[in-house]
Chain A
Amino acid sequence: MGLIDLLKKIEPDKKKSPFLHTLYDGFFTFAYAPNTVTRGGVHMRDGMDLKRLMVHVVLAMQLCYVFGTYNIGHQHFVASGQYLGFIEGFHLKLVHGLIQMLPIFIVAHVVGLGIEFWFAAKKGHAIEEGFLVSGALIPLIMPPDIPLWILAVAVAFAVIIGKEAFGGTGMNIWNVALLARVFVFFAYPTTIAGDEVWVSGFASIAQETQNGIIEITQSSYTWAHGIFNNLFEFMGINTFEAGAPFVDGYSGATPLALAYQGGWENVTNTFSPAQMFWGTIPGSIGETSKPLIIGGALFLIITRVASWRIMLSMLIGGITMSLLLNAWGATPFMEVPWYGQIYMGSFLFAMAFMATDPVTASGTNTGKWIYGFLIGFIGMIVRVLNPAYPEGWMLAILFMNTFAPLIDHYVLEANMSKRMKHA
């Protein structure tokens, strides 16, 4: 095996340069499954390991990535009234989406992995694969226009305080990706709350008119768009043209914001249920396309990577709460039917990818039913009754992450008292 011998020769020494050794080890085990054999205990081991588990979760999300990236571009042009068809202006939308998405993806991974590598080197153990999933999730839950430095600080917070301070992969109490988002939510709320945040590529520019200087929101592009403009001109196809304002009456509101203002009728006036289902609506990058999320969830259930108990009980909890709110019916938002609640916002995304994180969820099967149900239940309460922000999954999941060990504790107490009771 010539290549392996070559790679072994350039291996940095563990004592002299621990960081380089850890880095080398991480990439080597990425490329080659290690040759360690079993010692003591079982002699054969299952073919599944943590790397394989994590990579399947990342795979489940890939279609959401593709669609979400394209949707960034699509929403941008819909906002200014151009290229209203989904496929129209394909090259422009794809490029715009990539220009927004790739820096977020790269920054999240470089910051997160860099911190993980440094901690692994300091502690002297191998790089653990937990961040593969968190790093894939974080771009999908951020608004497309988020300033990169805010993202970097959020990722650093989530990895250092949310994960490494507790002991690394497998030891964290809270979902790492959600910690990043909640950091942005509380520390830089204007970047993540409000109607226009979910449509990218627009800036407020002061313009002089007859009535004085007013602020107009119009599309603005960066140097990266300029490079592609040269390419597109060369190819003779449409280019990016800055300065297009919002279409009359366009607010950039997501379905949830509309539901908060005026109930289900308000939502269906702007977006058709088909649009909300297929995902050509503004929102977080990965949460809009329901069939792709459902496909990812089914993939995870069939390969037994994620727990179907949590997904099912969260669905039941959310539907139960929305039915109860329908019965109450005090505000228009409460009257939104239960299937409407599933169409809007990140309910399905949180169910498929966030709630099912095995480290932060309950460990016992009974506990998983209770945990999932309460996430659905509480998340719906936060979504509908919260005056400041019309989405509740991030807070509900972090809340239940705090209580997951307690649920497990009572399940185990029941098991222990049943056992200790003499027949």
Chain B
Amino acid sequence: MNIAKRKFSIVFSLVFLSQFSFAQSGNSSNYLIYGLIGIGLLLLVFAVLTLADNLIQIEGQKMGVNTKKHDLGVFPKVTEMFSTKAPQYINNGEEYKSFSKGFDIKLAGEATGKIKNIHASRYALKPTDFIGMSPIPKVVVAEGDEVKAGDVIFFDKKRPNIMYASPVSGEIVEVKRGAKRSIAEIIILADKEISYKEISAPDLSTIDRDTLKSFFLKNGVWPMFNQRPFDIVADEDVVPRDIFISTFNTAPLALDNGKAISGNEVAFQKGLDALGLMTDGSVHLGLDGRGKSPVAGFASSKGVKKSYYSGKHPAGNVGIQIHNTAPIKGSDVVWTLDVQDVITIGKLFTEGKYDASRVIALGGAQVKEPAIIRTFQGANIGDLVSGNLSDEKIRIIAGDVLSGKQSTEDDFLGFGDTQISVIREGDDYEAFGWLLPIKPRPSISGTFPNFLFPNHKFEGETNTHGEKRAFVVSGQYESVLPMDIYPQHLMKAIMAGDFERMEGLGINELSEEDLALCEFVCTSKMPLQSILREGLEMMRADG
């Protein structure tokens, strides 16, 4: 109302002041006066209509009508007329959001086909996978011990209730140390047939939250609860406002989660039921609304709030979905989990065992035969890719090319990894490469002819294509981040160490994977993800 009043008074004073111009010129400026009066009348009508709409909204909320779903305004919303139509399979009551910002990096070597079972010979748990873990956690097993899948391997002395369990059964073959006697990896030589620790699962219909919480803490699934802000293992003393699960991954060469859930729908639903007990709010499921038919296992989930999202990457990122559904404000805490983590939790109840099997997508132009592999968490990468890599100089990445971790064949899959990408190491000089590139490369810039070949799949290489510079271009990050955040200014606030500004600009809503695409498009080659992690650590230490 205030804004409308202000507008009206400005227009009125303009009209009033312009009377002076009558004194000077004759009749040629009448059009201006009449134009201003017309605009003023239009604004008045608009103000009245807006006021009426607001009053109706207030009345509607008092009566209990959901004002978000039903449009109570007089005129149809312009945005609804022009936005993309929701696909047919979305029911009434399920939200649909389409993102216009983002960018899909189409890489060659996508994994398709049937799932191959590869049981690696060695598996490892890496304490370094978990942000904030003490450098030397308490390892409860020793080299040579036999463990079953689900047995506790180590825990953090700062957080002694959270147990980290072994993904497979076998013999602890090495506790590998890193710098300053920190624990880098605990390597297990796996049995051919996995034997599981006996777990007596409680009844979900009668259990209370605290008992369920200790059940999760004891049996090694607590590390699967990621907490936002900061994207760390969840604090067991805090009840989350909501739990968010994104069921589709839009990163380059990412796993199609339909492959992961097929055969595990019952366990997935059981996991969702268990999660529903852990929060006072809702479990939100983010589903793929990009036009293809939905995956039955996800679309038929019960007891959750389903939202469909469509758009280019990072539409599948859970951080984006949180921001566009129920943003993290103030001291809110939300949890995020991956689909396969939910299946593991569900299997605690349906099968009474800690089943850490994972479906992994092995992709990239440097893989001879990209494949979807069923193995266990923490598998040795060499065993998964053996004989399948090209002879060129390559880089193996555990995760996707945007936020994954550079690995070698001696390394192991990380705790949350669901894909391995292999791309060419691009350490060669290119004559005038910045002016006349010969090899095609993905870019959002209009200076490349990529828009002529929208379905071309790129090979992918690690050359930086330029050197690091100061921030020059503006608006680039905002064009690929579908959140109401100004990333460049946030980065500057982090570099300056300005806590209030960091918090105000939304650092608590971000994780590295959300900014990974911004880092990809950065013309100045700035290391955005590491700057963000510095900022998050500053916020965590401070608060």
Contact = CB atoms under 8 A, between A and B. Distances in A.
Contacts of B434: 33, 49, 51-52, 55
A422 B241 CA distance: 14
A327 B406 CA distance: 66
B527 interface: yes
A420 B500 CA distance: 10
B467 A303 contact: no
Interface in A280-327: 302-305, 307, 323-324, 326-327
A44 interface: yes
B445 interface: yes
B489 to A, nearest CB: 6
A72 B486 CA distance: 46
Interface stretch (A35-43, A114-122, A249-257, A263-271): A35-43
Interface in B86-126: 105
A126 B486 CA distance: 28
A82 interface: no
B12 interface: no
A416 interface: yes
A81 interface: no
A303 B472 contact: no
Given A327-B21, A419-B504, A4 B467 contact: no
Nearest to A329: B25
B330 A50 contact: no
A31 B431 contact: yes
A33 B430 contact: yes
A328 B21 contact: yes
Contacts of B18: 327
B472 A358 contact: yes
A147 interface: no
Given A55-B435, A304-B446, A329-B28, A49 B466 contact: yes
B425 A37 contact: yes
Contacts of B258: none
Interface residues of A, number: 67
A167 interface: yes
B429 A32 contact: yes
A44 B402 contact: yes
Contact of B426 (A32, A37, A53, A362): A37
A47 B442 contact: yes
Interface string A109-135: 000000000000000001011100000
Nearest to B445: A48
Nearest to B504: A416
A37 B464 contact: yes
A170 interface: yes
B374 interface: no
**Chain B CB within 10 Å, residue with most, of A49, A302, A303, A362:** A49
Nearest to A167: B470
Interface stretch (B300-308, B354-362, B514-522): B514-522
B473 A45 contact: no
B471 interface: yes
Interface stretch (B65-73, B180-188, B455-463): B455-463
Contacts of B132: none
Contacts of B431: 31-33
Given A43-B397, A170-B524, A415-B486, A50 B445 contact: no
A303 B21 contact: no
Nearest to A38: B462
Nearest to B105: A44
B460 A358 contact: no
Given A33-B433, A169-B470, A47 B475 contact: no
B29 A327 contact: yes
B193 interface: no
B529 interface: yes
Contacts, number: 229
Contacts of A362: 474
A163 to B, nearest CB: 12
A327 B32 contact: yes
A225 interface: no
Interface in A370-423: 408, 411-412, 415-420, 422-423
Interface of B is mostly: loop
A365 interface: yes
A383 B404 CA distance: 55
B466 A33 contact: yes
Interface in B204-244: none
Given A35-B427, A46-B443, A329 B21 contact: yes
Contacts of A47: 437, 441-443, 445, 448, 465
Contacts of B437: 47
Contacts of B467: 29, 34, 36, 49, 126
A363 B487 CA distance: 11
B403 interface: yes
Nearest to A422: B330
B401 interface: yes
A286 to B, nearest CB: 22
Given A44-B461, A47-B441, A307 B472 contact: no
B383 interface: no
A56 interface: yes
Contact of A42 (B461, B501, B520): B520
**Chain B CB within 10 Å, residue with most, of A29, A46, A365:** A46
A231 interface: no
A363 B529 contact: no
A32 B519 CA distance: 23
B464 A50 contact: no
Interface string B4-39: 000000000000001001001100110010000000
A43 B519 contact: no
Contacts of A359: 472
A87 interface: no
B169 interface: no
Nearest to B460: A44
Interface string B481-500: 00011101100000000000
Contacts of A44: 105, 401-402, 423, 442, 460-462, 520
A417 B501 CA distance: 11
Nearest first, the 10 A-B pairs at minimum CB distance are A49-B466, A33-B433, A170-B470, A416-B504, A47-B441, A303-B446, A363-B474, A48-B445, A47-B443, A304-B446
Given A46-B441, A416-B501, 10 more contacts: A35-B428, A36-B464, A40-B529, A41-B527, A50-B524, A52-B434, A52-B466, A170-B472, A326-B29, A327-B29
30 contacts: A31-B432, A32-B429, A35-B428, A37-B427, A37-B464, A41-B530, A42-B516, A44-B105, A46-B445, A46-B465, A48-B444, A49-B523, A51-B434, A51-B435, A52-B435, A53-B473, A56-B447, A168-B470, A303-B447, A304-B445, A327-B32, A329-B28, A329-B29, A363-B486, A364-B475, A364-B489, A411-B486, A415-B504, A419-B327, A420-B330
Interface of A: 1, 4, 29, 31-38, 40-53, 55-56, 126, 128-130, 167-171, 302-305, 307, 323-324, 326-330, 358-359, 361-365, 368, 408, 411-412, 415-420, 422-423
Interface of B: 18, 21, 24-25, 28-29, 32, 105, 327, 329-330, 395, 397, 401-404, 406, 421, 423, 425-435, 437, 441-448, 460-467, 469-475, 478, 484-486, 488-489, 501, 503-506, 516, 519-525, 527-530
